[in-house]
Structure 1
Amino acid sequence: MPVDITFQNASHAIVEYVPGMRRKRKAGLLVWRDWDLEFATLFTPETVYRWQRPAREGGRWEERTAGLGRGEPAHVPNPLKVVPLVELPNRSRLHGNPRSEIATVLPLQDAVNTLWAHLMTASDGLALPARAVLGMDRPVREIVDPESGEVVGEEDLPLDRFRSDRLLWLEKEGASIAEFSAADLDNYLRVIDKAVQHIAAQTRTPPSYLAGQLVNVSPDGVAASEAGLVAKVTERQRHFGAALREIMRLEALANGEIGRAGGLLLGSVVWRDPQFRSDSQYSDALVKLKSLGLPDEAIWERIPGVTPEEIERYKGMRTDAAGAILGGNVAALFGPKPDQPEDPPADTLPEAA
């Protein structure tokens, strides 16, 4: 039976450790909701407990037997003899709960959002020059009685008409038009840029990732700007490696491969290089490693994207090439050759003078 490895949300799963032993899991709880039911599964090294309850009423937990098969109990022995939930800790600490990476930059992000809202509000009324008519009455129109034809009053004309027509008559003597210049909104942008730079510095994120401005920058400069991010990723790899190794060990135990499980317990996780390098940079580095005497297998493992299966295929290709050389068929190493004409019969050869 195949083994499934799934990831659970941290709000739906929790792991309890043996006091004083951060590596040994004592129990694990998994909860989830499916339509109108809530389910819970408690894992211990000896037993797996399963419950359910109505989601809306929030009633008492009952043993979950539905859908498990005929005669199967709700609580079953744990065949692995170990808790099958593994925590992937992020920024774990010796005391207290883990702290989010964005906890320190949330105030700055709120400030950026507030400034951006102010910028949008100001741009609505202050981004364009404003004009005002001075020394003139508000335009009105007469209200005429349809039956008598007499003027019975006046009403103000809506100013939207003048905005759309872009036309205005100034008939009153002394009337003039005043203009108010547009406001400079760059002050908002400068403050936002500074806040984004602080966010990049606190989170060790390259500024070019957030600002999107990268002009005439040398490769060394790009590598220097990404050094903090690469160091942070390398640190995360160190913490996640032990948890991923434990996950694969549980997969081996579930498949009955005791030997592989023991090897994984003492093994290590090999991560891909977190720093981006071009193909020419990788090739240059591999050539230098080859000049130091490293075997081909060690160099092949450092090629990005190369799998262990491909490395085995490379070994087979190298063995075939060596066999062709020892067998005298060197031409086979360079591909097929065109057919050669057959030798003519002996009786058609010219006689020697």
Structure 2
Amino acid sequence: MAESPMDTLGRLYSKLKRRHQLTRVWSDYYDGKQPLKFTSPEFATQTGGIFDGFADNWCQVIPDVTVERLMPMAFRLEDGTLDKAAWRSWRRNECDVEISLALLEALITGRSYALVWKPDGVQTEITFHDASRAVVEYVPGKRRVRAAGLVIWVENDRERATLFLPDRVYWFSRDIGRAGMPAHPSDWTFVSSGAAWMLEREMSNPLRSVPLVALENRSRLNGKPKSEIASVVPLQDAMNALWAHLLTGSDEIALPARAVLGMLRPTREILDANGEVVGEEDLPIGKFRSNRLLWLESPDARIAEFSAADLTNYTAVIEVVVRHVAAQTRTPPSYLTGQMVNISADALIASEAGLVSKVEEGQRFFGAGIREVMRLDALADGDTGRAEALALGSVVWRDAQFRSEAQYADALTKYKAIGVPDEALWERIPGVQPDEIERWLRMRDDQAAAIVGGNVAGLFGPAPVEAPDPDTD
């Protein structure tokens, strides 16, 4: 028997809440909210929680280094031409900005989601959602065929949900007081979409496909998408513990310590109300330390000194841990240590080879999801032919390798020498978008037309008029 929409909602919502617990952990580590681990219970008792909230946060660096090199620049159709309509829709929905947030979320938690929908029947919307607010389910045995999608959000005093199936779309709502409790079908009720053009609790899906697309980071065939900071977290905990011990040591044993041997502690008499001596007590040592006073009354007293602790033992281990982070995440050491002295351009490129390969790998994974998003965008506009061409096309990404302008100019000049067309060369310039290439093409055509028409002055302006020689009449 086919599953009811209410049962599908309950199952997907439960899966969403289970995932949320793990994604919350990765998000907290990225934000620097890291518990202090790998320390003894005695250490926590002695320090009194002074290191709560402390973190030498490397979990933020790793995703940031990758996402800054993931920038879609255009969409190429099956025949190799650039899709201007797709790029206009991309810019209209501010996806050129939102995609960086979505990809960063995917790098941190393993996945994020893009929703393509036409709420008013006129203009298509592309929105992005994090893994705590959206979930996609696939047909068993078919990793790329979406069977259902769920998006949840909070509005006023209600938690709301939209369930997307290949043929239908449903809207649900429940009281926000129960939002934190395990989902149960009886918690939810059908509601209308709230749109002026659709006041039913369900509608036919015009795309005939689940419009919620997962942007997954390096998923395995038999596993789940991977967070970029998953392997960094244990090393991050180790570094935090090492820094805590180092800072504690710097406070206690970073300076030489002196001790008085062979002498009793200084004391003072305790007097009662009549001035009679009733006892004695030790004087606080802290007073003598602050006043820098010292006197020795016993002839047998002597001074002993304890050398300061060598804290470089801690920093040496921390540097090893940082190198492990660099190796495991393929992050150039220059990003983590900040040491760049007398490094040639070739050496710098070689040091970034691992990161560039990782980014190019991410372009393939995320590119598949982005192509599907733009295919759905074309379907929403009723252009099935362009949708098919986009599905077989590609995403044009910014060059994953950072180079200087001189390096790009040299490379493009060499490509030009072997006959590569200007348009292809312009596409390889970082940051150049399709509309700017179109403007350059028009400018080139105008120049050619001026030359053919003999309007050289239109290109270079009128010839300068020489001033008359004052010595001649």
Distance in 1 (alpha carbons) for counterparts of 2:406 and 2:357: 23
Q: In structure 1, what is the equivalent of residue 455 of structure 2?
A: 329
Distance in 2 (alpha carbons) for counterparts of 1:48 and 1:2: 18
- Offset of residue 336 of structure 1: 5.2
SS in 1 for 2:127: coil
Distance in 2 (alpha carbons) for counterparts of 1:339 and 1:64: 79
**C-alpha distance 90-71 of structure 1, shift in aligned 2 (>3 A):** closer
Q: In structure 1, what is the equivalent of residue 59 of structure 2?
A: none
User: Which residue identity is paired with 1:214?
Assistant: M
Question: What runs of 5+ residues in structure 1 fail to find an aligned partner?
Answer: 342-349
Aligned match for 1:225, one of 326, 346, 351: 351
Contact 2:269 2:279 in 1 (8 A): yes
Matched, 1:123 2:244: no
SS in 1 for 2:145: strand
Aligned match for 1:18, one of 126, 139, 145: 139
Q: How does 1:87-102 map to 2 (within 5 A)?
A: 87-102=214-229
Q: Percent identity?
A: 62
Question: What runs of 5+ residues in structure 2 fail to find an aligned partner?
Answer: 1-121, 468-472
- Offset of residue 247 of structure 1: 0.6
Matched, 1:174 2:300: yes
Distance in 1 (alpha carbons) for counterparts of 2:410 and 2:249: 54
Q: Which has the higher helix share?
A: 2
Q: Could you state the TM-score of these two structures normalised by the residue count of structure 1?
A: 0.90
**C-alpha distance 310-9 of structure 1, shift in aligned 2 (>3 A):** same
- Offset of residue 253 of structure 1: 2.1
Deviation per CA, 1:301-343: give whole Å up to 9, x if none: 11111111111111111111112212222233224555689xx
Aligned match for 1:6, one of 127, 136, 140: 127
Range with bigger deviation, 278-287 or 205-214: 205-214
Range with bigger deviation, 327-336 or 241-250: 327-336
Q: How does 1:261-280 map to 2 (within 5 A)?
A: 261-280=387-406
Aligned match for 1:239, one of 341, 352, 365: 365
Q: In structure 2, what is the equivalent of residue 37 of structure 1?
A: 158
Aligned match for 1:79, one of 203, 206, 210: 206
Which of 1 and 2 has greater Rg? 1
**C-alpha distance 65-141 of structure 1, shift in aligned 2 (>3 A):** same
**C-alpha distance 71-8 of structure 1, shift in aligned 2 (>3 A):** closer
- Offset of residue 69 of structure 1: 4.7
User: Which residue identity is paired with 1:99?
Assistant: K
Q: How does 1:275-290 map to 2 (within 5 A)?
A: 275-290=401-416
Aligned match for 1:52, one of 167, 173, 176: 173
SS in 2 for 1:87: strand
**C-alpha distance 129-44 of structure 1, shift in aligned 2 (>3 A):** same
Q: In structure 1, what is the equivalent of residue 426 of structure 2?
A: 300
Distance in 1 (alpha carbons) for counterparts of 2:381 and 2:464: 52
**C-alpha distance 71-321 of structure 1, shift in aligned 2 (>3 A):** closer
Distance in 2 (alpha carbons) for counterparts of 1:42 and 1:150: 87
Q: Which has the higher contact order (CA 8 A, sep 6+)?
A: 2
SS in 1 for 2:187: coil
Distance in 2 (alpha carbons) for counterparts of 1:70 and 1:293: 55
User: Which residue identity is paired with 2:141?
Assistant: G
Q: Could you state the TM-score of these two structures normalised by the residue count of structure 2?
A: 0.68
User: Which residue identity is paired with 1:165?
Assistant: N
User: Which residue identity is paired with 1:238?
Assistant: R
**C-alpha distance 244-31 of structure 1, shift in aligned 2 (>3 A):** same
**C-alpha distance 271-78 of structure 1, shift in aligned 2 (>3 A):** same
- Offset of residue 103 of structure 1: 2.8
Distance in 2 (alpha carbons) for counterparts of 1:299 and 1:214: 31
User: Which residue identity is paired with 1:117?
Assistant: A
Aligned match for 1:199, one of 325, 346, 365: 325
Distance in 2 (alpha carbons) for counterparts of 1:150 and 1:128: 43
**C-alpha distance 21-66 of structure 1, shift in aligned 2 (>3 A):** closer
Distance in 2 (alpha carbons) for counterparts of 1:66 and 1:217: 60
**C-alpha distance 156-337 of structure 1, shift in aligned 2 (>3 A):** farther
Count of paired positions = 342
User: Which residue identity is paired with 1:183?
Assistant: A
Matched, 1:134 2:255: no
State the superposition RMSD in angstroms.
Answer: 2.3
Q: In structure 2, what is the equivalent of residue 62 of structure 1?
A: 189
**C-alpha distance 101-221 of structure 1, shift in aligned 2 (>3 A):** same
Range with bigger deviation, 267-276 or 163-172: 163-172
Contact 2:193 2:199 in 1 (8 A): no
Q: In structure 2, what is the equivalent of residue 346 of structure 1?
A: none
User: Which residue identity is paired with 2:336?
Assistant: L
